[in-house]
Amino acid sequence: MAARALREVGRRRGWAAEVGRRCFSGGSAGAAVAEPKEGGAGGGKAVNLFTAVNQALHIALDTDPRAYVFGEDVGFGGVFRCTTELADRFGKNRVFNTPLCEQGIAGFAIGLAAMVLFVILDCYCYFQILALLDLMIIVNEAAKFRYRSGNEFNCGGLTIRTPYGAVGHGGHYHSQSPESFFCHVPGLKVFSSVVIPRSPREAKGLLLASIRDPNPVVFFEPKWLYRLAVEEVPEEDYMLPLSQAEVIRKGSDITLIGWGAQLAVLKEACEDAAKDGVSCELIDLKTLIPWDKETVEASVKKTGKLLASHEAPITGGFGAEIAASIAERCFQRLEAPVARVCGLDTPFPLVYEPFYMPTKNKEMHQCKRRQAQARSTGQGSIRCDGPQFTRGTWFPALGPQRHHVAHSSSGRNRRARAAQHHRTPDIDRR
C-alpha cells in the first residue's frame, strides 16, 4: 500500500518530465544552476545549527529546480524544524511528507535520484535510518548502484540527512551514534561520504557540498547542537570541501581528533591541558569516508601521540580505524600507544548518560597518561627516523636490547647469510 502511494506521488508530480543531466554550474542540459562560492565569506547573521541547515535546504531548492526534499513530517517543518517554510515557498510538489514506511521511502529516494535528480531524504531520528540499514536498502541498493552497473547509472544525487548523538534526555533509542555502521559498507566506502559537521557554518557549507556531490552522502547532524550552537553564518551560497580535515588548534605534544558535537568537549580538554603545560593539536575530521589521513598523519608525526574521541561505543567504532591506520602509517614516530576516549560498550543509558559519555575529564586523563608514557619510555626506547635511530619514541615490539642486536654487525651478517640461503634461483620460467 505504501509503495503504491509513493508511485502515485511520483505520477502526480510528473518528475519524468524534469529528468536531465546533472550539472552544478550550468551545462548544456538540465536547468542552469548558479555557481556557488567555495568556503564562504566571513560575517553574516548569527544563527543556530538547525537554522543553518534550513538555509542550506532553501538554497539547494532555489538554485536547482531538480532538487526535492521529502520524509516523514517534513511538510510542516520536521521534528527539529529544519524544513520550516520549505513547502510554503517551493510547493508541495517538491517538499512533501511520505508514508510511514522506511523501506518504501528509501527505495523511492534511490529511484528518484537515479533519474538524475537531487534528492534530500530527511530521517528525523536514529532508529529510522537504522531501519533503512536493516532493510538493506542503503547497503544493497544505494551503495552498489553505480558499481553493479559498471558506472552506466547511479544514484549520486541522493543525500540522506539524519540526526545523531546524545541530547541529554534521549535514552537508549534517540541518543545513539551509528556512523561506523555506514563506514563499514563496502559500496559506501568507495562511492559515498559520511559527513558530520561541528557548527552552524560548517553544517551549511558541508550540507550544500554533500547535496551537490555526484555521490550518495549520509549527512549526520549533531542533535545536541541544533539549538545550542550559535555562530555567524554567511547568508550567500557557499560550499566547504568534503574529505578535508581542519586543524582547529595548533599544538606540539599530542594530537586530538574528533567530529561533530565531540569537538566542543575536545576544545575544553585542550584548554585545560594547556594550563597543565600540555600543548594539544585539535583536528576536526568532518568527513569519515573517505577521511583525510594525510592531515592526521602529518600532525601525529609532529606530536608523536594521538587521541581519538567519539560518542559511539569504543568496540568497532571509527576511532579504531583511525588508530589502526595511524599505527600503520606512523609507527616509527609514535611515542605512546594511540588512545581512544569513546562511549561504553553498553546500550545508551538515560540516568547514567554522564558516565557513558566521553567527557573532558576522561580525555584529560588520557592526555596526561600518554605524556607520562612518552617520558617513561623515552630514556630506553628507540626512535626510527629515516635511516638513523635515535632515542625518544615508544617502540612496543622491540626492546632496546633486541633492537641493538638486530642492527649490530653480527645481526646483519646473519640476515645476509639467511637471505643468501633462501634466495630463489634464477631460472627460465618460459
Cβ contact 176:346 at 8 Å:
no
Which string of b and e fits 232-264 if b means at least 16 CB within 10 Å?
A: ebbeebbbbebbebbebbebebbbbbbbbbbbb
Catalytic residue among 72, 102, 221, 363: 102
DSSP string, 244-263: --EEEE--SSEEEEE-TTHH
Q: Which amino acid is at 147?
A: Y
Which one, of 209, 394, 382, lies nearest residue 300 by Cα?
394
Q: How far apart are CA 69 and CA 74, in angstroms?
A: 8
Three-state DSSP state, 397 = coil
Catalytic residue among 18, 58, 174, 246: 174
Cβ contact 95:83 at 8 Å:
yes
C-alpha cell at 147: 558499481
C-alpha cell at 187: 559500496
- Give phi and psi for 357, each to the nearest 5: -70, 145
Active-site residue flag, 246: no
Q: Which amino acid is at 349?
A: P
Strand order in the sheet with 118-122: 95-97, 67-71, 118-122, 158-164, 217-222, 193-195, 287-289
Active-site residue flag, 174: yes
Element (H, E) at 416: helix 409-421
Residue 389 DSSP symbol: E
Element (H, E) at 222: strand 217-222
Residue 76 DSSP symbol: G
* Active-site annotation, residues: 102, 174
